[in-house]
Chain A
Amino acid sequence: MSAATLSTPLGAGDSTVRRRPARRVLPGFNLTLGYTVLYLSLIVLIPLSALVFKTFTLTWEQFWAAISGPRVLASYRLTFGASLIAALVNVFFGLLVAWVLVRYSFPGKKIVDALVDLPFALPTAVAGISLTALLAGNGWVGQYLEPLGIQLAFKPAGVVIALIFIGLPFVVRTVQPVLEDAEKELEEAATCLGATRWQTFTKVIFPTIAPALLTGFAMAFARAIGEYGSVIFIAGNMPMVSEITPLIIIGKLEQYDYAGATAVAVVMLVISFILLLVINALQAWQRRRSGASS
């Protein structure tokens, strides 16, 4: 996905609130809504319900055993830990990149701006093998790190690197428009009232962009948890050490343990649902914030 796209508020857009209710002069409501619901059911809802029904074939004990084996627990720790670290790094650097793109001008800015979306456009498998090649002992970056005793490829640290790559645009693309719309008058007022630049940033600018930053964090985190393609090449995939949860699902599938794979998948699906709800709530908060200030 895509975060450039994800970040745009959907549904209760404030533009629809202000307009008086449409009297359905336009034709095609039944056709388009019917098709939307039909297609959504066929492609998304019915297949997802297959996952839930498959879980019901397991007893509670079997289900619990499948989702709490030591190897599975280790994979949760890695997946959530690495996703959390990567999302935090992205909050910092994402804000930095968004700030630099909005507030300063420098040669090549348009190219840098376009390049931020590279992780959306570059297939994850390509990103995976390329990052591995860079960080391996003989790679462009790895050759300088190896003498220092730092090895990133085929280690949990490599997972974090891949997830930073994947998550960066989510933070930049949510923070950038908010930063663009932020009113400079407030900063001028703060300066006139004697605030230092740092105080203005922490007390005036940061509260404005905090909801967007949090939304970007949640999106990067949600994407990182499900990520597969870019991670498996760089992780080394050692059981208990550098095996991510999606790989556990694949591993169970390859042993024809469909029920076990489904159980772990349900856990991941529930977590995705929760994160989706959190992101929706954050976006609603962000809209209220920006609505209140304008």
Chain B
Amino acid sequence: MSSTPIIWRARAGTTEPAWVKYSLIGLALGFIFLFLVLPLAAVFTEALRKGWSTYWEALREPDAWSAIRLTLITAAVAVPLNLVFGIAAAWAIAKYEFRGKAFLTTLVDLPFSVSPVVAGLIYVLMFGAQGWFGPWLMAHDIKIVFAVPGIVLATVFVTFPFIARELIPLMQAQGNEEEQAAIVLGATGWQTFWYVTLPNIKWGLIYGVILCNARAMGEFGAVSVVSGHIRGQTNTLPLHVEILYNEYQSVAAFAVASLLALLALVTLVIKSVAEWLHERDMKAIADLPPERPLAEPAPALAASATH
């Protein structure tokens, strides 16, 4: 905003007195400190309370290793599955008009509003010993519930909407013109997707994948219902934290928890960088000379991008 005298005087009416401003900032920062910074700091302090050697000891345990391995496997299956779904759903919903589109979008959102415990329960009802497919699975000696496949399924359910949610508004805002141009110029569908759509949505895609991954690795409620808590076999990292904590092995529990807290921090950093790069790209497009008018205003990544 330029500061000609008139505008400058008017702006006085759109801000608060300095003391109000600084008390509000102080109050907000105090709240953030108490509710976000302290819990994060407590994880690392508690983990290192008995020194680094105890910390490493707790992480070197075979059970901790198998929990890490299972968590990585779960995310490695769940995230790509939901990535493919997210792209397909976003393509169908954002690029075409069809009846029942709003309803379909609501259904895509559904797993977000279902309690994680209920999410776990539905797979027990499907594949558990008393479930729909229970007897058949038992006869064929296939274990889903209280085994790795159940954990993966529950994780897929709770992380289901993440990538689709991120891509749908982004692709809707970008419209179809560029893809149509590519098709008219003779590109195949796949070429259009790889060379036109994908570069346009890449930051949104990364943003969705990283949040999906964080939730996949950190899910507790749903996984705890289907896992059966078999140490060294069906324990993911969050479940391992719970077991250690309930056995009063506080330092070990927080040591394992600190790995997950680090994952959260890395997630926040990548997310912020993706947001920042997305804004930079959008700004670069908006700053292009006027002979290439842009139909849509720059869409922000999710709601959290700041101008």
A→B interface (CB under 8 Å): 1-13, 15-16, 19, 21-22, 24-29, 31-33, 35-37, 39-40, 43-48, 50-51, 54, 93, 96-97, 99-104, 106, 110, 112-127, 129-131, 133-134, 139-141, 164-165, 168, 173-174, 176-177, 180, 184, 187-188, 190-192, 197, 200, 222, 225-229, 233, 246, 249-250, 253, 258, 261-262, 265, 268-269, 272-273, 275-276, 279-280
Contacts and interface: CB of A to CB of B under 8 A. Distances in A.
Contacts of B242: 125, 233
Contacts of A113: 304, 306
Contacts of A121: 211, 214, 218, 263-265, 267-268, 271
A76 B230 CA distance: 31
A10 B302 contact: no
Interface in B53-98: 84-85, 88-89, 91-98
B148 interface: no
Interface in B87-129: 88-89, 91-98, 101-102, 104-118, 121-126, 128
Given A15-B296, A228-B220, 14 more contacts: A33-B98, A50-B125, A50-B132, A102-B306, A110-B272, A115-B36, A130-B40, A164-B35, A176-B303, A187-B14, A225-B115, A258-B128, A265-B117, A265-B118
A272 to B, nearest CB: 4
Q: Is the interface of A mostly helix, strand, loop or mixed?
A: helix
B209 interface: no
Contacts of B28: 93, 96-97, 99-101
Interface string B4-48: 000000111111110001001101110110111111101100100
Contacts of A39: 85, 88
Nearest to B301: A4
Contacts of B14: 184, 187-188, 191
Given A35-B85, A134-B39, A250-B225, A51 B96 contact: no
Interface of B: 10-17, 21, 24-25, 27-29, 31-32, 34-40, 42-43, 46, 84-85, 88-89, 91-98, 101-102, 104-118, 121-126, 128, 130-132, 153, 156-158, 160-162, 165-166, 168-169, 172-173, 175-176, 179-180, 183-184, 188-189, 192-193, 208, 211, 214-215, 217-221, 224-225, 237-239, 241-242, 245, 250, 253-254, 257, 260-261, 263-265, 267-269, 271-272, 296, 300, 302-304, 306-307
Nearest to A8: B169
Closest 9 CB pairs of A and B: A191-B13, A123-B218, A226-B115, A229-B220, A228-B221, A11-B105, A27-B189, A121-B264, A246-B117
Which secondary structure characterizes the binding site on chain B?
A: helix
Nearest to A139: B42
Interface-central residue, B13, B98, B156, B218, by most chain A CB under 10 Å: B13
A261 B94 CA distance: 38
B214 A173 contact: no
B253 A129 contact: yes
Contacts of A6: 109, 112, 165
Contact of B42 (A15, A106, A130): A130
B111 A258 contact: no
Contact of B113 (A4, A36, A47, A276): A276
A162 to B, nearest CB: 10
Contacts of A28: 91, 189, 193
A21 B43 CA distance: 53
Contact of A50 (B24, B104, B122): B122
A280 B307 CA distance: 26
Contacts of B263: 121, 123
B268 to A, nearest CB: 5
A220 B123 CA distance: 26
Nearest to A175: B303
A31 B116 CA distance: 30
B182 to A, nearest CB: 9
A112 B32 contact: yes
A34 B193 CA distance: 18
B157 A190 contact: no
B173 A118 contact: no
19 contacts: A1-B162, A8-B165, A27-B189, A40-B104, A43-B156, A44-B160, A114-B272, A122-B218, A123-B238, A124-B238, A125-B238, A126-B218, A129-B241, A139-B42, A164-B35, A229-B238, A246-B115, A246-B116, A249-B121
Nearest to B118: A265
A278 to B, nearest CB: 10
B27 A96 contact: yes
A249 B121 CA distance: 9
Contacts of B96: 22, 24, 26, 29, 33
A252 B37 CA distance: 36
A258 B130 contact: yes
Nearest to A231: B221
A188 B263 CA distance: 45
Contacts of B239: 125
Contact of B102 (A11, A122, A177): A11
A276 B109 contact: yes
Which of A21, A31, A120, A225 neighbours the largest number of chain B CB atoms within 10 Å of its CB?
Answer: A120
